[in-house]
A and B are shown apart, each in its own frame.
Chain A
Amino acid sequence: MFLLSFLRVIKFSLQDIGRNIWLSLITVVIITLALFSVNLLLTVKILTSATVSAVKEKVDVSLYLKAEAPENLILALKSQISNLNSVKQIDYVSKEAAMESFRVKHKNNPEVLRALLELGKNPLSPSLIIKPRDINNYEELIASLNKIDNDIIESRNFDDHKAILAKINNIAEKANQTGLFVSSLFVLITILVVYNAVRVAIFTHKREIGIMKLVGASTWFIRAPFLISGLIYALLGVLLIIIVIYPFLNLIQPYLATFFSGFEVNLLAYYNGNFLLIFGLEFLAASLVNVLASLIAVGKYSKV
Chain B
Amino acid sequence: MIKLANITKIYPPDITALHKVNLHIKPGEFISIVGQSGTGKTTLVKLLISEEKADQGKIIVGGWDITAIGQAEIPILRRQIGVVFQDFKLLHKKTLFENVAFALQVCGERQRKINSIVPQVLKIVGLENKMHRYPLEVSGGEQQRAVIARALVHRPKILLADEPTGNLDSINADEIIEILQKINKFGTTVVLVTHNREVVNKLRKRVITIENGLIVGDQAVGKYIL
Which of B1-9, B86-94, B123-131, B187-195 makes up part of the contact surface? B86-94
Asked whether A83 is an interface residue with its Cβ less than 8 Å from the other chain, the reply is: no
* C-alpha gap A215/B79 in the complex (Å): 7
Inter-chain contacts of A212 with B (CB < 8 A): 91, 102, 106
Inter-chain contacts of B63 with A (CB < 8 A): none
Interface size class of B (residues with CB under 8 A): 20 to 34
* C-alpha gap A143/B51 in the complex (Å): 82
CB of A218 within 8 A of CB of B91, answer: no
**Cross-chain pair count, CB within 8 angstroms:** 53
Asked whether A5 is an interface residue with its Cβ less than 8 Å from the other chain, the reply is: yes
CB of B108 within 8 A of CB of A5, answer: yes
Inter-chain contacts of B105 with A (CB < 8 A): 8
* C-alpha gap A219/B89 in the complex (Å): 18
Asked whether A19 is an interface residue with its Cβ less than 8 Å from the other chain, the reply is: yes
CB of A217 within 8 A of CB of B106, answer: yes
CB of B75 within 8 A of CB of A1, answer: no
Asked whether B221 is an interface residue with its Cβ less than 8 Å from the other chain, the reply is: no
Asked whether A166 is an interface residue with its Cβ less than 8 Å from the other chain, the reply is: no
Asked whether A208 is an interface residue with its Cβ less than 8 Å from the other chain, the reply is: yes
Asked whether A70 is an interface residue with its Cβ less than 8 Å from the other chain, the reply is: no
Q: Mark A168-191, 1 if CB is under 8 A from B, else 0.
A: 000000000000000000000000
Inter-chain contacts of B102 with A (CB < 8 A): 212, 215, 217
Inter-chain contacts of B51 with A (CB < 8 A): 214, 304
Contacting B at CB under 8 A, from A130-173, are none
Inter-chain contacts of B111 with A (CB < 8 A): 4
Inter-chain contacts of A216 with B (CB < 8 A): 75-79, 103, 106-107
Question: Given A16-B93, A20-B93, A208-B91, are A214 and B83 neighbors across the interface (CB < 8 Å)?
Answer: yes
Inter-chain contacts of B74 with A (CB < 8 A): 213
Inter-chain contacts of B107 with A (CB < 8 A): 216
Identify B89's interface contact among A1, A8, A211, CB under 8 A: A211
Q: Mark B49-71, 1 if CB is under 8 A from A, else 0.
A: 10100000000000000000001
Q: B107 → chain A, closest Cβ, in Å?
A: 7
Q: A111 → chain B, closest Cβ, in Å?
A: 82
Inter-chain contacts of A214 with B (CB < 8 A): 49, 51, 78, 83, 85, 89
Asked whether B110 is an interface residue with its Cβ less than 8 Å from the other chain, the reply is: yes
Identify the closest chain A residue to B85 (Cβ). Answer: A214
A and B contact pairs by CB, cutoff 8 A, 5 listed: A210-B89, A212-B106, A214-B51, A216-B79, A217-B102
Q: 12 new A-B pairs (CB below 8 Å) besides A211-B89, A211-B91? A: A4-B110, A208-B91, A212-B106, A214-B51, A214-B85, A215-B106, A216-B76, A216-B77, A216-B79, A216-B107, A217-B75, A221-B75
The 9 closest A-B pairs by CB, nearest first: A216-B78, A216-B79, A217-B106, A19-B93, A1-B108, A218-B75, A216-B75, A211-B89, A215-B103
Residues of B near any A CB (own CB < 8 A): 49, 51, 71-72, 74-79, 83, 85, 89-93, 102-103, 105-108, 110-111, 150
